[in-house]
Amino acid sequence: MLPVGCLRAALRLSRAMSVLSLEPRPAGKRWLVVGLGNPGLPGTRHSVGMAVLGHLARRLGVEDTWARDRHCAADLAVGLLEDAQVVLLRSRRLMNASGRSVSRAAELFGLAAEEVYLVHDELDKPLGKLALKLGGSSRGHKGVRSCISCLNSRVSLPLRPALGLVGQHGAACTVHQSSLGPPLAPPQAMPRLRIGIGRPTHPDTVQAHVLGSFSAAEQELLPLLLERATDMLLDHIRARSQQPPLGPDLSELLPP
């Protein structure tokens, strides 16, 4: 148990962080990054989104500042990327109900769906394959489905051909751009970073595969995977933060 003095200092820090975090910010200067996973099950393939979030917290220098937020039923940390605020969220709810935590945080921080980055595992991509996509269906992922439903995010957008992007850190990735049409309404579609975990050969073993831990051989690949995923997020957020407020064509917000 922490000494009383430490508890009081932690409480003051938490209150100060809350005031700073909830200050109004211009559009494009605050982002929410959500790492999907099951609480209490770190190291599993289904919780790889949380692993990426932890690595991102270390890169932003906020790995020791996680604070529990009862309103969101989640752990939050707040970092800065140049002049943009990046709020990190790992839900304390089970995966299938994580959207409730995400929508509550988006409401508290005054964010729309397109300002929420969702990081999650993807069965239909091999381990090590990353893709950043705007919107799209849940493809059977119940955690993603919960977030889409709770945020009322668009799930079907016409996609343009994928664009190759190499960020500042040299991390190659694939970014799918979407044509959102005339600016009649804001584009309510979440950017999603999909982390490939590979699909097993036999359908009967899918659940065990998803909820199982990475093998020893796979764990050797994880450090580089987490680094590349973090680079991709930072590069993409930085590029969007440096551009004018979100418009109908997100291709204008990406580096050439």
* pLDDT tens per residue across span 19-66: 445 677 766 799 999 999 999 898 999 999 999 999 999 999 999 999
Which pTM does this prediction carry? 0.77
- Segment 157-173 mean pLDDT: 37
Q: Which CATH superfamily is domain 25-155+188-242 in?
A: Peptidyl-tRNA hydrolase (3.40.50.1470)
Please report, for the chain, the start and end positions of each structural domain, with discontinuous segments joined by +.
Answer: 25-155+188-242
Say what the pLDDT of residue 215 is: 93
Task: Give me the mean pLDDT over the 204-227 stretch.
Answer: 95
CA dihedral (95, 92, 211, 116) positive or negative: positive
Residue 131 token pair: 């893709």
Tell me, what's the pLDDT at 137?
83
User: What would the pLDDT profile of 71-112 be if each residue is shown by its tens digit?
Assistant: 999 999 999 999 999 999 999 999 999 999 999 999 999 999
Residue 209 pLDDT > 80: yes
Active site residues: 46
Mind giving me the DSSP string for 10-50? HHHHHHHHHHHHTS---TTSEEEEEE---TT-TTBGGGHHH
